[in-house]
Copies of this chain bind each other. A is one copy, B any other.
Amino acid sequence: MRRISESTIKRLSKYYRSLEHLINQGVDTVSSDQLAEMDGVTSAQVRKDLSFFGTFGKRGLGYNTRTLRDQIGEILGLHRRWNVIIVGAGNIGRALAAYQEFQKRGFDIRFILDKDPRKIGTTIHGVPVHDISRAAELIPKENIEIAIIAVPADSAQAVADTLVEAGIKAILNFAPRSLKVPEGVHIKNENMAIEIESLSYHLNKNQ
């Protein structure tokens, strides 16, 4: 299969959410036009995105909301559950441990790793906190597949190295620094400050 762009994957996540919303409202059928309208894209974009993975609609009718939701779910790996950990029990780490959207989509936060002895042994929103030094032991044992880094920028690369060493193949990085990982390890940077700076750029520009 031809390589799929990250933009397409992100839009599929959006379509998935919009379809859930429609299903909750009791809607059975949706056209690419309606879906596009809900997500602020063009209908051609919706159809093209889907076309990379197969044909899901009926010409003249549109798409069945449940079927399409499930099919996008299979593409995104939302048909199964994932074992996830958070590294860093600071403000961001704690908020993510309680973030219902992860649970709802199949991402189970199994435990939190931290180095602060005062936090180790406690639970945060029901999630146990373990010593980061146990990463190499716990990650394989608990079958952890995705790690979320929520530590300060200066320790982020060291944490990433530890995680990769322990066998992690996917990292979501909230620390404001670009991290280097070996070939074959997936990394996504989520930098909340960068998004707000895009807003200040636009505001600043128009005055």
The residues of A with any CB-CB pair to B shorter than 8 Å are: 6, 9-10, 12-14, 16-18, 21, 38-40, 75-78, 80, 82, 84, 91-92, 94-96, 98-99, 101-102, 105-107, 145-146, 148, 153, 169-172, 176-178, 180, 186, 188, 190-205
Contact = CB atoms under 8 A, between A and B. Distances in A.
B13 A194 contact: yes
Contacts of A12: 201
Copy tally for this chain in the complex stands at: 2
A196 B82 CA distance: 10
Contact of A204 (B76, B102, B105, B180): B76
A74 to B, nearest CB: 8
Nearest to A205: B77
A99 B91 contact: yes
Chain A binding surface SS class = helix
Contact of A77 (B92, B102, B169, B200): B200
B192 A99 contact: yes
A102 B195 CA distance: 11
A194 B14 contact: yes
B102 A169 contact: no
A17 B176 contact: yes
